[in-house]
Structure 1
Amino acid sequence: MLAPLVNEPRDYAWGSTTLIAELEGRAPTGRPEAEVWYGDHPGDPAVVPDGRSLGEWLSSDAAGTGAPQRLPYLLKVLAAASPLSIQAHPSKRQAEQGFAREEDAGLPRDAAERTYRDDNHKPELIVAVSDTFTALAGLRDLETTKRLVASLGPAAEPLLGHLSGMDASTGLSTSAPDALRGTIAWLLSGTAQHDVDAIVAAAADADATEFRAELDLVRHLNDVYPGDPGVVVALLMNLVVLQRGEAVFVPAGVLHAYVAGLGVELMAASDNVLRGGLTPKHIDVAELLDVLDPTPGPPPVLRPTEAGGVERFAGPGISDFALLHARVSADASAEIALDGVAIAIVTSGQLEVVGVSSGEHATLIPGVGVLVTPDEGSLRATGEGDLFLAVPGR
């Protein structure tokens, strides 16, 4: 079976006023349009043609097709005009424990101070659809970060001291992850504001050729979130500029923040977020530090595998989801085998898709998706356009 899907864009303040409208070929509304959700997550489920939510459709019409009553993933189109909050997501175990703890405490699920809105983890990946997509992802190699911080001069010496990670009881340097965790704890503690302001002021005047892009971003972040400690946390993170078709994968505990651009995002079906700056919203510092993976390293760029003209983006060890991408043209149609329930969208052009088992047809244009039940086996696409398919992982 094929079930067409639509949804309205979510109007988060960081959303672009133009990118989703341009993608869908319509006039902008004048309001920020940040995300379009194609899934059954109760926070904003997609809608089938008769007006029911996708969740309602799955629990009734999809019976006997092999489709689950709840999808394991959530597919989104994301359009950022200004930076999202710095954030990390919990592991499955952390999410289950945190959700149970807040439920037992009687904290309303829509409360501003609520952290765990469900009991699921939220690994995620995003593929750039715009020409470039800018993000912060993961903590940079510590020695490189120290070199960046040192370029800011005397005002950054307190930050450099925390990054050096001396253990007061032994006088010895701590590990790089411990030094980074301790530095983030200090920056978000509320006691470091004077140093935060001094570091940001120093970054505004700095001229370090090696780190020009990072310093330009810090200035931009401070324009959007003046005085926010997250501006300095961003100094510790990898700056990633994806080209169209490139991706990053963010596993549990990894700090990240999307900055600007249009992308297709796929994640486990969860809305659990631990914030770490660049936001007026609640920040639970202790819980963030508990879920944080402070291991430094290179940007978590995700390389796809390719078979038969279809790219497959999949996070290591993630069974919830994978994202398939195919470029379909008049002389290069696609037939894609499906292993489980799928959601298909396009980001350019127009495609006719056919469920190979049932013969059911659907027309895909940007802004319209389709759910494909497992009994179809495969999906055939003709026309011209960029096709993305969310599927279960392996």
Structure 2
Amino acid sequence: MDRLANTVRPYAWGSTTAIPALLGTPPTGAPQAELWMGAHPGAPSRLDRGTGPVSLADLIEADPEGELGEAALRRFGPRLPFLLKVLAAGSPLSLQVHPDREQARQGFEDEEERGVPIDAPHRNYKDTNHKPELICALEPFDGLCGFRPTREAAELIEALGVDALKPLVDLLRALPEAEALRDALTTVLTTEQGRVAETVEPAAAAAERLACVPGPFASDYAAYASIARAHPGDPGVIAAMLLNHVRLSPGEALYLGAGVPHAYLSGMGVEIMANSDNVLRCGLTQKHVDVKELLKVVVFRGSGPGVLRPEPGEDGEQVYPTPIDEFRLSRYVLDGVGPRKVAAGVPQILLCTDGSATVRERGAAVGEAADGGCDLGSRGGELVLARGESAFVPAGTGVEIDGEGTVFRATVVV
């Protein structure tokens, strides 16, 4: 097992204080948005096994079976199929959606055939992979996730009292759900720019006022007013009102599958995703919005946001259930009573987010079952993780963790 040195990405929407507080470092005054842990080529983690720093990506490339294990190598190829992050939002991110695997493949091949440069600002598909995500709150965390039921969306928008939005309300009430949501989003994103401002500004002002009035949508209006302050005049402000606003408590999570429109608004959380850069944006951004392509990808279905809470696993592990294999996120809340065995046979990253944790090798063999079955004795290896620190554990290493704090475990399903 190896302690990781990780890169902080300074995106403009990032908090200036949250990640420094997690890492115990002084703020620089600049936004620090994401702490990346993994082997993504954009910013791979680094580690040192006694011969100097090397990237995790290079280490895996040199010995994929030794690092990933035979089962993960067979299932996912010679790469770590997930990226783990700590995400700290100081202002709203763009409203976006991700394609499924087949949509990504077709879109990538089409743009390649048309000769669209991979780094072109209007390029939609950077690779052939899908990008499911899971975000778990470390503190109160606000976001948008999935469409509201149309009747609820119509009621919320109608209460704003903005005449220019009445046709949108009528549309939401008159058509079947999928058709209504498709037409509503299309209308919002294709409205002439001059008319957008005439709609967004009074809607934002009304949301600001209604946020202070007791009612079922007061907290939602507060969120939309905040979005409008960060993105004045952006049509995404109205698009956001079609979506569920959700506030996660620490330990709660959201799973974001293909086609689900979403945006993170504020707060810090642990995020895990499949290795992909495929994003189609719906608004709240200065970047390219391809409405035609977006409408092919979005799933037009109204529902609740689907907040996840962890389910009990083996030896104190708390697992966040998801329907995909590229990643599996869980956590251990350590109470200092005794060590917890962590299953081996798969590559994994351990991240301490609170307190401290001691990680000890158990000498597990590569073939040990993923349920952590046998304990082959200690090799004496030990690593203490402070808050904000992480470690990579190769597939052939069994470990146990002890201490007082919280440790997140990122791995795969094979």
Which of 180, 200, 216 is residue 204 of structure 2 equivalent to? 200
1:48 is paired with a residue of what secondary structure? strand
Task: Give the Cα separation in 1 of the matches to 2:162 and 2:220.
Answer: 19
Residue 93 of structure 2 is matched in structure 1 by 84
Q: What do the CA deviations read for 1:337-384 (whole angstroms, capped 9, x no partner)?
A: 1341111111012222123226333232234321111112x3201222
2:255 matches 1:249: yes
Residue 369 of structure 2 is matched in structure 1 by none
Residue 350 of structure 2 is matched in structure 1 by 344
Which of 107, 114, 120 is residue 111 of structure 1 equivalent to? 120
Deviates more, 1:306-315 or 1:33-42: 306-315
2:296 matches 1:286: no
Map 1:79-158 → 2, pairs under 5 A: 79-130=88-139, 132-155=140-163, 156-158=165-167
Task: Give the Cα separation in 1 of the matches to 2:264 and 2:338.
Answer: 33
Task: Give the Cα separation in 1 of the matches to 2:151 and 2:309.
Answer: 26
Give the counterpart letter for 1:144 in structure 2: E
Task: Give the Cα separation in 2 of the matches to 1:208 and 1:154.
Answer: 20
2:190 is paired with a residue of what secondary structure? coil
Residue 29 of structure 1 is matched in structure 2 by 28
Task: Give the Cα separation in 1 of the matches to 2:16 and 2:67.
Answer: 39
Give the counterpart letter for 1:219 in structure 2: A
Cα distance, 1:342–1:152 mapped onto 2, change above 3 Å: same
Q: Is the 8 Å Cα contact of residues 310 and 325 (structure 1) preserved in structure 2? A: yes
Residue 16 of structure 2 is matched in structure 1 by 17
Task: Give the Cα separation in 2 of the matches to 1:42 and 1:106.
Answer: 23
Task: Give the Cα separation in 2 of the matches to 1:363 and 1:20.
Answer: 20
Deviates more, 1:120-129 or 1:210-219: 210-219
TM superposition score normalised by structure 1: 0.92
Give the counterpart letter for 2:120 in structure 1: A
Deviation of residue 276 (structure 1)? 0.8
Which of 289, 306, 312 is residue 319 of structure 2 equivalent to? 312
Task: Give the Cα separation in 1 of the matches to 2:203 and 2:244.
Answer: 18
Residue 176 of structure 1 is matched in structure 2 by 177
Task: Give the Cα separation in 2 of the matches to 1:332 and 1:147.
Answer: 53
Deviation of residue 103 (structure 1)? 2.1
1:98 is paired with a residue of what secondary structure? helix
Aligned residue-pair number: 382
2:23 matches 1:3: no
RMSD: 1.8
Unmatched 5+ residue regions in structure 1? 165-172
Task: Give the Cα separation in 1 of the matches to 2:362 and 2:68.
Answer: 15
Deviation of residue 72 (structure 1)? 1.2
Q: Is the 8 Å Cα contact of residues 314 and 321 (structure 1) preserved in structure 2? A: no
Q: Is the 8 Å Cα contact of residues 142 and 247 (structure 2) preserved in structure 1? A: yes
Deviates more, 1:238-247 or 1:186-195: 186-195
Deviation of residue 62 (structure 1)? 5.3
Percent identity (aligned): 40
2:61 matches 1:55: no
TM superposition score normalised by structure 2: 0.88
Deviation of residue 154 (structure 1)? 4.5
Runs of 4+ in 1 over 4 A off after TM superposition: none
Give the counterpart letter for 2:200 in structure 1: V
